[in-house]
Structure 1
Amino acid sequence: MIQAMRAMVRRTTLTAAVLAAFQAGALATGPAAASDLAKDLFGAEKLPSAAAPQSFGFYSKGCFGGGVGLPLTGPTWEVMRPSRNRNWGHPAMIALLEKFSRDAVADGWPGLLVGDISQPRGGPMRTGHASHQIGLDADIWFSPMPSTPYSLAGREKIGARSLLEPGTTHVLDDKRWDPVYARLLKRAASYPEVERIFVNPAIKKKLCETVVGARAWMNKVRPFWGHDEHFHVRIGCQPGSPGCKPQQSTGRGDGCDKSLAWWFTDEPWRPAKGPAKPRARDIMTMASLPQACRAVLDAPSPPSAQAAIFNGGSSMPVAAAAPAEAAPVPDAGAPFAANAFAETPKIGVPLPRPRPGS
């Protein structure tokens, strides 16, 4: 009993020290200036804001408040690269990932390895993604969860498995393809809140060649650069986020059309001419983001999140269920832009634009 009380005192003292450190850091930085680089400010945040869940801006230019964390280890998932602290998202995103992981196991998949979701308060990242800024994006590895969980150290080193034939950008190695991947993607597409699933063009092509029967779900699966080792799940703007900028609709059809054929020409893989342009995240200032993002940075963190960090992230607050209201459904007749960071063409067959600089 005495030992337990002493341990509690030590724990309480350390927790107070951690909280004081976070508070001191917040006071030292002060309000965000319009000219400050957004990636540095949001990349320095360790905890979410204490606020009602709300996304501001677009997937590649915004932030979010009231985020919750996906625990690093769950019964049907594991978070990879935990040191990045990118396992935070809108409660609807976290709830979806938990449900998806359970459903995937029921479908015969061993469990999900979850990559980046968002930073605690979203915003641009110092490295990596252009999107993942408003808590509504998540990466899922094509590698299955092992029967024996990876250690936290192991999750920093284990590499994701590519489904492409080594040394190619177009051809999928038939020996690596298994119908289980199609079932996994179909399950992800089955949720109404999911609007996009980005995969490598070769993976989309394989689906077009092999999926039989009902194919309406394939409309959500769209080709994009990279995404040979993981797929990117994106949900729509959620109720309670009037400042969230929605995407255009993917339109009708299964996506096995001219917009897919474009990816198998030389154009999307041709090196850009002229000097390299800076990535958008590297030059994005606070003035570029919605004004609400300054308040998101300045907001305090919830005590439950502080305790979760103290516990090593194993007990981060988790959404208990998906929102009761369904996300608004975009106009199904609008065309689709395969480039996630470009406006959708208004007429004609929508062909992707060149690789975005961000």
Structure 2
Amino acid sequence: PLNGPKWEVMRPSRNRRWGHPTMIALIEKLSRDAAADGWPGLLVGDISQPRGGPMLTGHASHQIGLDADIWLTPMPDRKLSLEQRENMSATLLVDEKTHLVKDALWAPEHTRLLKRAASYAEVERILVNPGIKKKLCDTVKGDRGWLRKVRPFWGHDYHFHIRIGCQPGSPKCKAQENTAPGDGCDQSLAWWFTEEPWRPNKNPDRPKARDLMTMASLPAACQAVLDGPDPASAEAVTYYGDGVPVAAAPVLTKAPSPARASASGAAALPATANAYAETPEIGIPLPRPRPGG
């Protein structure tokens, strides 16, 4: 649903608030636990499209419901209107020139939120901006084991990216490699504060983006989903969050979003889907749109 006791979905016209049941349950659990830690509530960004698959804009991952973006801006103490959710900019926590966190904007609550997200066994990785990773490395005391899951990556200066592992009943899902031993506060992090990562056109060693997903390269199981009948409308869905039925909010009556268009069949996508590689250790970013966009 668009709203919960401790969360609100941002950019709802994208229709990217769909995920594996384990991911949806995880976000709800994080919203409750983070509130107990002092975080007012989650502003939820992209998860996946209704039928998954490649998106016209924004991501190379987020295709199978195992990824979710959570804003690092706390939920306001008032309910946001749909217009505000479409246009409100997120808070950029990192200086684009120094790649360091803006100290005036960073709070202990940010650390507690990320630690809580990393505490769940289902979570394999949390992607953050290198500056945020450095801030954690410099300030976290005591238990630092959870920092291993927090990985630096391009972008992610206004949100963090949660990735869970392959789920039961998905025999063809391929697990990622394990993260490297240690807390990640080592030479691999120091590399991000050299000139090399930020000069992709001059650095042949920078990781290349994975092959862009095309409709022709979709797995047969995905193509079968796209070719199937339309799912029930959002208006007809009743969602049982925490065992309590909640009527789904109506879909916005705006121009079709890229997410909706791509879910309606192969002809709706171009030969190559736009890619923003958020997959760990690979990929190059496209120019960032409006914060939170």
| TM-score (ref. length: structure 1) | 0.65
Distance 1:262 1:133, change over 3 A: same
- C-alpha distance in structure 2 between counterparts of 1:353 and 1:117, whole Å: 20
Q: Which residue of 1 aligns with 2:157?
A: 228
Provide the identity percentage.
66
- C-alpha distance in structure 1 between counterparts of 2:169 and 2:58, whole Å: 28
- Residues 209 and 283, structure 2, Cα contact 8 Å, conserved in 1: no
- C-alpha distance in structure 1 between counterparts of 2:235 and 2:134, whole Å: 45
- Residues 77 and 145, structure 1, Cα contact 8 Å, conserved in 2: yes
User: What value does the CA root-mean-square deviation take over the aligned residues?
Assistant: 2.5
- C-alpha distance in structure 2 between counterparts of 1:125 and 1:107, whole Å: 34
What SS is found at the alignment partner of 2:92? coil
- Residues 126 and 161, structure 2, Cα contact 8 Å, conserved in 1: yes
Task: Confirm whether residue 110 of structure 1 aligns to residue 32 of structure 2.
Answer: no
What's the offset of the Cα at 1:177?
1.3
1:310 equivalent among 223, 235, 259: 235
2:145 equivalent among 193, 216, 226: 216
Q: Which residue of 2 aligns with 1:134?
A: 64
Task: Confirm whether residue 194 of structure 1 aligns to residue 123 of structure 2.
Answer: yes
- C-alpha distance in structure 1 between counterparts of 2:154 and 2:238, whole Å: 32
Q: Which residue of 2 aligns with 1:161?
A: 91
Distance 1:255 1:279, change over 3 A: closer
- C-alpha distance in structure 1 between counterparts of 2:282 and 2:59, whole Å: 18
- C-alpha distance in structure 2 between counterparts of 1:196 and 1:202, whole Å: 17
Q: Which residue of 1 aligns with 2:101?
A: 172
Q: Which residue of 1 aligns with 2:272?
A: none
Q: Which residue of 2 aligns with 1:258?
A: 187
What's the offset of the Cα at 1:280?
6.6
1:27-106 residue pairs with structure 2 within 5 A?
A: 71-106=1-36
- Residues 48 and 63, structure 2, Cα contact 8 Å, conserved in 1: yes
Unaligned runs of 5+ in 1: 1-70, 322-338, 343-351
- C-alpha distance in structure 2 between counterparts of 1:205 and 1:273, whole Å: 25
Distance 1:236 1:292, change over 3 A: same
Q: Which residue of 2 aligns with 1:17?
A: none
- Residues 155 and 285, structure 2, Cα contact 8 Å, conserved in 1: no
Cα shift readout 1:5-63 (whole Å, capped 9, x = no counterpart) = xxxxxxxxxxxxxxxxxxxxxxxxxxxxxxxxxxxxxxxxxxxxxxxxxxxxxxxxxxx
Q: Which residue of 2 aligns with 1:145?
A: 75
| TM-score (ref. length: structure 2) | 0.79
- C-alpha distance in structure 1 between counterparts of 2:85 and 2:188, whole Å: 36
What SS is found at the alignment partner of 2:185? coil
Unaligned runs of 5+ in 2: 244-276, 288-293
- Residues 88 and 117, structure 1, Cα contact 8 Å, conserved in 2: yes
What's the offset of the Cα at 1:169?
4.5
User: Between Structure 1 and Structure 2, which shows a larger proportion of helix residues?
Assistant: 1
1:286-305 residue pairs with structure 2 within 5 A?
A: 286-302=215-231, 305=232
Bigger CA radius of gyration:
1
